[in-house]
Amino acid sequence: MLLGFQKQFAPQVESGAKRCTIRGREAKPGEALYLYTGLRTKVCRKLGVEKCKRCRPIIIREDGVKLGDMDLSTNGDSGLLLSIANDDGFATFSLMRTWFRETHGLPFAGYLIEW
5-50 tens-digit pLDDT: 999 999 999 999 999 999 999 999 999 999 999 999 999 999 999 9
- For the chain, the structural domain boundaries read 2-114
Amino acid at 36: Y
Query: Is residue 89 within 8 Å of residue 9, measured between CB atoms?
Result: yes
| 3-state SS assignment for residue 89 | coil
CATH number of 2-114: 2.30.130
Query: Is residue 36 within 8 Å of residue 27, measured between CB atoms?
Result: no
Element (H, E) at 51: strand 45-51
pLDDT of residue 74: 81
Sign of the four-CA dihedral 80, 21, 56, 69? positive
Query: Is residue 14 within 8 Å of residue 1, measured between CB atoms?
Result: no
pLDDT value at 77 more than 80: no
78-102 tens-digit pLDDT: 889 999 999 999 999 999 999 999 9
pLDDT value at 4 more than 90: yes
pLDDT of residue 78: 82
